[in-house]
Structure 1
Amino acid sequence: MGALIEAARKPEFSAQISLVLSDNPDAPGLAVAREAGVVTGAIDFRSLPGKEEFEAALHTQLVATGVELVCLAGFMRILSRNFVDRWRGRILNIHPSLLPELRGLRTHERALAESREEHGCTVHYVTAELDAGPIVTQARIPIFPRDDAEALAKRVLFEEHRIYPQALDVVARALRAHGAPGM
């Protein structure tokens, strides 16, 4: 999220970060966003009866703020088909693997356990199927014999911070020119 905010400060960048919204009122990213001058909000999922109510509140807040494109960053909830369909072609996510391989959690540990030679990250459109939406871009890194999960995670995070802003810029330009791309 910080990398997206920083990129959006550049005059040539095609997206504006208009809201940072969290499902956790204590999320550290909210303070980072406020410090950067970005409007923040929180919808505490624990205060609502269920997923449907949470997603309705999320949708209402996004629409009220005029959000056109949602970028998930550290959002660890699986969105329902209904929510994803309402925002079809307008939700991006960053995943720490080279999709379609290693969907889900603990990707760094799994890459090492499988003795893979490379790892990386993927920016993709969110669909109802977990980590299965169309790919916008990927970054590949080698896995070194000395790597552990922590070292690998740090190198992947560096690439995430590099490619997510690039992907957002491309998608925002396409959205502006042609409507929801990629779907």
Structure 2
Amino acid sequence: MSLRLVVLISGSGSNLQAILDACGQRQAGRHADIDVMPAQVVGVLSNRSDALGLSRAARAGVATATLAHTDFADRAAFDQAMIAVIDRWQPDVVVLAGFMRILTPAFVQHYSGRLLNIHPSLLPLHKGLNTHQRAIDAGDVEHGCSVHLVNAELDGGPVIAQAALRVEESDTAETLAQRVHALEHRLYPAVLGWVANGRLQLDTVPPRLDGQPLTTPIRL
């Protein structure tokens, strides 16, 4: 049975594209040298109507929806509207892929054990924004990205897997961001593949990979 994914985006959707490719939902004429995982993106939701990722989803034949957060009285009302849209797609996992909104505890609780995020740092380092410049300013030797379960703490849920690279003296925030993006595009599909193939259980504390508790993140 195919794992049903709903992906939330706010921008270009490059991680969404990596996931679509890994699911075999690439646009006509595209080819990728990857193993297709038993998963399907069944819906893409954005809080921005101009998000490029919506076009990526449409080209792959995936249903899309847009909810502008500015149309709602507060964060709680917006999140409840998102839940109503997402639940119609009946997801097994909700995937945050560059979704630039802080979620309410009620939203996080509703999708507890099936809500994933990718963050551009080696958590617990550099939670929040501007991670690449902060890594440079801190003199970090390495930098990277993390896939984690979402809980009520910002970027604070259990970290499942990470990918790292060496910070070069010549790196700027922009070059580091480009290099980390390449890691993200491999890391996120890998973790979702573990879920789709029954290796990773998200609904336990801590998550379990191949039956063993994940007490430290897997490094890829």
- Pair 1:128 & 2:143 matched: no
Please point out which of 166, 171, 178 is paired with 1:142: 166
The Cα of 1:31 is off from its aligned counterpart by 0.9
List per-residue Cα deviations over 1:41-89 (Å, max 9, x = no partner): 1111111221111111111111111112111011011101111011001
After TM superposition, the score normalised by the length of structure 2 is: 0.78
Q: Which amino acid aligns with 1:75?
A: F
Q: Secondary structure at the match of 1:103?
A: coil
Decide which moves more: 117-126 or 6-15: 6-15
Q: Which amino acid aligns with 1:79?
A: L
- Pair 1:3 & 2:18 matched: yes
Rate the CA distance shift 1:55–1:161 in 2: closer, same or farther, 3 A: same
Please point out which of 180, 189, 203 is paired with 1:180: 203
List per-residue Cα deviations over 1:143-178 (Å, max 9, x = no partner): 011111111111100000010000111123349x96
Q: Secondary structure at the match of 2:40?
A: coil
The Cα of 1:180 is off from its aligned counterpart by 2.8
More helix by share: 1
- Contact 1:174–1:180 (CA<8 Å) still a contact in 2? no
Please point out which of 50, 63, 67 is paired with 1:43: 67
Q: Distance in 2 between matches of 1:75 and 1:109?
A: 20
CA RMSD of aligned residues (A): 1.8
- Structure 2's unaligned 5+ residue stretches are 1-15, 25-33, 209-220
Rate the CA distance shift 1:154–1:11 in 2: closer, same or farther, 3 A: closer
Q: Distance in 2 between matches of 1:178 and 1:37?
A: 29
Q: Which amino acid aligns with 1:113?
A: D
Q: Distance in 2 between matches of 1:124 and 1:144?
A: 26
Decide which moves more: 41-50 or 151-160: 41-50
User: How many residues align structurally?
Assistant: 182
Rate the CA distance shift 1:11–1:146 in 2: closer, same or farther, 3 A: closer
More strand by share: 2
The Cα of 1:179 is off from its aligned counterpart by 7.1
- Pair 1:62 & 2:77 matched: no
- Structure 1's unaligned 5+ residue stretches are none
Query: Residue 4 of structure 2 aligns with which residue?
Result: none
- Contact 1:3–1:161 (CA<8 Å) still a contact in 2? yes
**Aligned-residue identity in percent:** 42
- Contact 1:34–1:40 (CA<8 Å) still a contact in 2? yes
Query: Residue 95 of structure 2 aligns with which residue?
Result: 71
Q: Which amino acid aligns with 1:99?
A: L
Rate the CA distance shift 1:179–1:156 in 2: closer, same or farther, 3 A: closer
Please point out which of 162, 178, 182 is paired with 2:186: 162
Rate the CA distance shift 1:137–1:64 in 2: closer, same or farther, 3 A: same
Query: Residue 142 of structure 2 aligns with which residue?
Result: 118
Query: Residue 218 of structure 2 aligns with which residue?
Result: none
Q: Secondary structure at the match of 2:183?
A: helix
Q: Secondary structure at the match of 1:140?
A: strand
Q: Distance in 2 between matches of 1:174 and 1:57?
A: 31
After TM superposition, the score normalised by the length of structure 1 is: 0.93
List per-residue Cα deviations over 1:99-152 (Å, max 9, x = no partner): 011101000000000111000000101111000111111001000111111111
Q: Distance in 2 between matches of 1:111 and 1:60?
A: 38
